[in-house]
Structure 1
């Protein structure tokens, strides 16, 4: 386990929480002190990968363990930003992340991924319906299947079963797309828990 040379300070905030789920931009604050940029070493910059991310408290907190942050970021990129190569389109990978975040109550992640899914899909009204009504919102056969499967994976992997696979196939997903959907939902089920544990969303 990586040693932390200076014990981070515990932080608290008197800042308002967001009033519900939204596609609007919201803020996030950490419970532990992020690493100041002027204390970054080459090892930290290697861990953060993309230098502009060092402007965000979340990544400056996670970079206290730079090797883990690097692995997390590379996995995120592989799942969400690379070309689908016949798999699930980016809009629907982001939809899966939104559905999981809505299920887990991660307001910050839900806002980010709902915006991204909306940008790629051009279906803002459906993303707003998912955020407002929850995973029971009717978004059409294909999206309903993705949302339902993502919710099952978020609640407990054992709840994802043959019925979910059938629904996804009936919605037009081939096997590679189903694997993409599972990866997107499973990764964000973990990512939500990390973000919810080390800080909280704030209204801006």
Structure 2
């Protein structure tokens, strides 16, 4: 991995996440719970997040299908830019765990971490070029004031080269993490590599 970044309680290190409520035990799981864990994520069987959500396998299945379609579907916005939108949302919402995941994915896809440092330091105005800055700005605006997003804010994205499908992909990426951040923040807490637990500032 690239250099470790730490700023305002956020990091690009790999974190764990501990659920505050009971997770399913694999030895007691139903056949459908095991199946949905295997469908959801390669690490789902060892993740408190998935082991908690697997209490409701049908809902987890729908969540995973939506997530995979939004973040990994071919065409439209680049995966790195979807990760940037998700990173900005997670930074603003104070979701340390989600921010670490999307920081790492952005770095892997973009092959750099300068924008990650900027988002952690201050998500407003972050980005290394006009397109990234517009994506970060829109992500912040839709996160904080969704009712204020209008045609002018959409046009600002088009002015830096985003097409309709890319705008839609960005909105979906922002929306799913507005939801996912709240699940993570209300159901558990991040665990740092040294075993400590702390909140973002």
- The TM-score range, normalised by the shorter chain, is 0.7 to 0.9
Shift of 1:201: 1.1
From 19, 28, 34, the counterpart of 2:23: 34
Name the Cα RMSD after superposition. Answer: 1.6
- 1:98 has 2:87 as partner: yes
Residue in 2 that maps onto 1:156: 145
SS in 2 for 1:35: coil
Q: Does the Cα contact within 8 Å between 2:26 and 2:34 map onto a contact in 1?
A: no
Residue in 2 that maps onto 1:139: 128
Structure 1 Cα separation of the partners of residues 157 and 95 of structure 2: 25
From 66, 69, 94, the counterpart of 1:75: 66
Give unpaired runs (5+ residues) of structure 2.
1-6, 194-201
Shift of 1:26: 1.7
Structure 2 Cα separation of the partners of residues 19 and 105 of structure 1: 10
Shift of 1:19: 6.5
Residue in 1 that maps onto 2:196: none
From 44, 55, 68, the counterpart of 1:53: 44
Structure 1 Cα separation of the partners of residues 66 and 103 of structure 2: 20
SS in 1 for 2:11: coil
Aligned residues: 185
SS in 2 for 1:134: coil
- 1:121 has 2:106 as partner: no
Give unpaired runs (5+ residues) of structure 1.
1-17
Deviations 1:137-162 (A, max 9, x none): 35321111111111112113212222
